[in-house]
């Protein structure tokens, strides 16, 4: 939870926030010293913008069951617009509970859910992440390497994966039951697609953060990507570094 967010914002907005110390509470608390709304524009031909779709999905999430009313916080873990069907895919998770996939489209709403892995609450049995190396996927806050990953997946691709139990290793490892590339199309007028921007950002990050041979391997984790059409710029956040492409 952030106090003092110095920018006008509403439910469903995507924000980039700079902050300092985080108070150890639930939810955690911090002072948002700098913030920017980075919500993407409504896609051409879409019935709803990302913000509007998230608002509807959060409204539906009020009905999701929770084993503990004191921790029943919903949070958005994934958004994707399917142009061919005019459908937003919004994944919402109630803290400590199931992850729900909600489809918001002009023809109504459908829902599905993914159950958590029995080994850890932090590795759901389905998720979407970015390929950073062969079979190695960044899951926003973690890394998993997969056997049986879709062969066409390349570095920078956004991939949706369903998997079996995750083995405790570094990086974690699992078998992909199914996987598909869900990389979004290049935005209108953009020089680079998200995939191309991530490829360049990874090259830059790895060049700037080479590890001595004596140090353990430090893999990059992609936390966030967003496109600013007014400047034709991608911002890719890798670990704690914002890289502009």
How many whole angstroms separate alpha carbon 163 and alpha carbon 161?
6
Q: What are phi and psi of 99, to 5 degrees?
A: -100, 125
The DSSP call for residue 57 is: H
Helix (H, G, I), strand (E, B) or coil at 69: helix
Q: What local confidence, expressed as pLDDT, does residue 192 receive?
A: 96
Q: What is the percent of the chain where pLDDT is above 70?
A: 85
Q: How buried is 152 (Cβ within 10 angstroms: 0-12 exposed, 13-18 middle, 19+ buried)?
A: exposed
Give the residue-averaged pLDDT of 40-57.
91
Q: What local confidence, expressed as pLDDT, does residue 202 receive?
A: 94
Instruction: Decide if pLDDT at 113 tops 70.
Output: no
Instruction: Decide if pLDDT at 69 tops 50.
Output: yes
Q: What local confidence, expressed as pLDDT, does residue 131 receive?
A: 93
Q: What residue segments make up the domains of the chain, in order of their start? A: 1-38, 40-114, 120-245
Helix (H, G, I), strand (E, B) or coil at 75: strand
Q: What local confidence, expressed as pLDDT, does residue 217 receive?
A: 56
Q: Are 155 and 179 in contact (CB under 8 A)?
A: no
Q: What local confidence, expressed as pLDDT, does residue 204 receive?
A: 93
* Bridge partners for 178 per DSSP: 162
Q: Are 236 and 197 in contact (CB under 8 A)?
A: yes
């Amino acid at each position: 939870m952030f106090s003092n967010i110095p920018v006008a914002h509403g439910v469903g907005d995507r924000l980039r926030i700079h902050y300092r110390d985080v108070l150890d509470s639930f939810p955690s608390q911090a002072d948002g010293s700098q913030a920017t709304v980075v919500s993407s524009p409504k896609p051409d031909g879409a019935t709803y913008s990302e913000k509007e779709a998230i608002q509807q999905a959060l409204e539906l999430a009020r009905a999701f069951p929770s084993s503990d009313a004191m921790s029943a916080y919903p949070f958005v873990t994934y958004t994707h617009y399917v142009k061919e069907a005019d459908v937003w895919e919004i994944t919402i998770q109630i803290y400590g509970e199931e992850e729900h996939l909600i489809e918001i489209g002009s023809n109504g709403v459908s829902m599905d859910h993914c159950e958590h892995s029995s080994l850890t609450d932090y590795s759901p049995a389905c998720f979407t992440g970015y390929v950073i190396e062969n079979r190695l996927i960044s899951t926003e806050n973690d890394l998993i390497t997969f056997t049986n990953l879709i062969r066409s997946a390349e570095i920078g691709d956004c991939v949706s994966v369903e998997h079996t139990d995750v083995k405790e290793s570094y990086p974690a490892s699992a078998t992909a039951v199914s996987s598909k590339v869900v990389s979004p199309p290049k935005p209108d007028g953009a020089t680079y697609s998200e995939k191309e921007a991530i490829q360049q950002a990874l090259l830059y990050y790895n060049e700037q953060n080479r590890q001595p041979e004596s140090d353990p391997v430090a893999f990059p984790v992609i936390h966030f990507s967003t496109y600013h059409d007014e400047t034709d710029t991608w911002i890719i956040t890798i670990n704690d570094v914002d890289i502009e492409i």
